[in-house]
Amino acid sequence: MYADIHTYITTQYATNIAVLIFAILLMVFGIGSIVFNKERDKNDKND
């Protein structure tokens, strides 16, 4: 019984961490692409 609960909690914990990392990566890529596009637009206007 204890082992089942422990496994369940560990699985939930691992899933939560995976989702968290995925969300952070999406956020970083999203912000990064926005910044990159702004920089590229500035460069295009300068030319």
| Gap between the Cα atoms of 35 and 9, Å rounded | 39
The CA distances from residue 29 to 10, 26, 35, in Å, are: 28, 5, 10
| Gap between the Cα atoms of 12 and 30, Å rounded | 27
pLDDT digits (tens, 9 = 90+) for 6-45: 888 899 999 999 999 999 999 999 999 998 898 888 888 8
| Gap between the Cα atoms of 24 and 11, Å rounded | 20
| Collapsed DSSP state (helix, strand, coil) of residue 47 | coil
Q: Where are the domains of the chain?
A: 1-27
What pLDDT was estimated at residue 28? 95
